[in-house]
Structure 1
């Protein structure tokens, strides 16, 4: 649902695959907005996946220059690493719908439409320490850091507001081994998604819209690029 919102708000959206595309290309390096999505690997697996090092360097440069950046799931972990924080395997794998609580800063941020206690889609096993210069926006009983802001130009979300039921059908297949290992029932997850997805979509739209308004560039040549890490 993220790309349609961006297009509605006047952004031109293009996609790349971080694992194979040239992250130094000007269309990526200098994009007005970079959205870094998720993937089934860890930030610390750079020996197996060397592109992660290049991706972290790209994000680090953007954050240091105040260029708008949005990270979701693995993207949030990459942002934390780029800001000097530790990223590591968590004590529990979160897959499925679960609560988050907004901090005082979160309740005053673009996340406010989620409400003080929101049910969102979690799909991660890793976590991270809050970067020193970042502001915690959300947490839950499993992980203290579920979302953070860096200045007013970067947003990191450990959870998924962008996922839709149709897209998740692909995830159920692509992550079948992970789901089985975590003892997650696909029929139960699908049923929960059917029950909660529409409500989350209504809450997520103002989250992304509000943030896009916040970081909109002065230059009218609105461009954006979404980098997939899988």
Structure 2
């Protein structure tokens, strides 16, 4: 099997639980360190699937790798090579496939409840899960690209996840681990402090106090989504 390509855009925003999931299921994967200057591959067909992680930049920033990533996403979509996006990754997918990324009404930083849409497609991805506590860290939001179906919403962000066939784009973070949360709280201390007035922003202490209770449930949701996504991998 060809490896799954995982694109890392920030040193602290790696694959987290997703990498553990792939390893447990004996799925080969390759990390592409965009944050270290590695080039965006030219050929999507070299991989069984493409996975884009988070990052502090905007997809609307003038960065040399962004147009290349958007072109790779479009090429993979055209060849039906499965795409999976986490936060910035979901925004990259949206922009590449005809959506737009704009400022969200408020920042979402920390734990927050998301609700699963009432649709057949949402049932395919989430099974009997109706709502769950996810982790969030974003100030922008994506529109649904043409052909996408809404899967998740939250009170502070209408578009939390969408599917286009076998492709899944998410605004929320289901890939979190305890260490990732600690790292984000440390690196994002100034951002948290500047936005504590937001109804969707928690303190670092609250985020970390809740993670041991909430992470097992989040991982169960992630495992469900990742298992469904694996079905579409190119052999």
Q: TM-score range by the shorter chain?
A: 0.7 to 0.9
Return the alpha-carbon distance in structure 1 between the equivalents of residues 45 and 139 of structure 2.
Answer: 29
The match for 2:169 is 156
The match for 2:8 is none
SS in 2 for 1:162: coil
Return the alpha-carbon distance in structure 1 between the equivalents of residues 58 and 233 of structure 2.
Answer: 31
Return the alpha-carbon distance in structure 2 between the equivalents of residues 168 and 142 of structure 1.
Answer: 21
The match for 2:227 is 209
Q: How many residue pairs end up in the alignment?
A: 212
Return the alpha-carbon distance in structure 1 between the equivalents of residues 220 and 81 of structure 2.
Answer: 28
SS in 2 for 1:84: coil
- What are structure 2's unaligned runs of at least 5 residues? 1-16, 197-201
Q: Kindly indicate whether the alpha-carbon contact (under 8 Å) linking 2:73 and 2:93 is maintained by their aligned counterparts in 1.
A: yes
> 1:190: how far off?
0.6
TM-score between the two structures when normalised by the length of structure 1: 0.86
2:207 aligned with 1:189: yes
The match for 2:29 is 13
> 1:25: how far off?
4.7
Q: Kindly indicate whether the alpha-carbon contact (under 8 Å) linking 1:87 and 1:126 is maintained by their aligned counterparts in 2.
A: yes
Q: Kindly indicate whether the alpha-carbon contact (under 8 Å) linking 2:45 and 2:81 is maintained by their aligned counterparts in 1.
A: no
Return the alpha-carbon distance in structure 2 between the equivalents of residues 18 and 67 of structure 1.
Answer: 20
> 1:29: how far off?
6.0
Identify which of structures 1 and 2 has the higher relative contact order when contacts are C-alpha pairs closer than 8 Å and 6+ apart: 1
The match for 2:118 is 104
Q: Kindly indicate whether the alpha-carbon contact (under 8 Å) linking 1:29 and 1:58 is maintained by their aligned counterparts in 2.
A: no
- What are structure 1's unaligned runs of at least 5 residues? 220-230
SS in 2 for 1:216: coil
Return the alpha-carbon distance in structure 2 between the equivalents of residues 100 and 129 of structure 1.
Answer: 17
The match for 2:130 is 116
1:50-199 pair list within 5 angstroms? 50-105=64-119, 106-112=121-127, 115-152=129-166, 154-183=167-196, 184-199=202-217
| RMSD (Å) for aligned C-alpha atoms | 1.7
TM-score between the two structures when normalised by the length of structure 2: 0.84
Q: Kindly indicate whether the alpha-carbon contact (under 8 Å) linking 1:148 and 1:157 is maintained by their aligned counterparts in 2.
A: yes
Return the alpha-carbon distance in structure 2 between the equivalents of residues 136 and 107 of structure 1.
Answer: 8
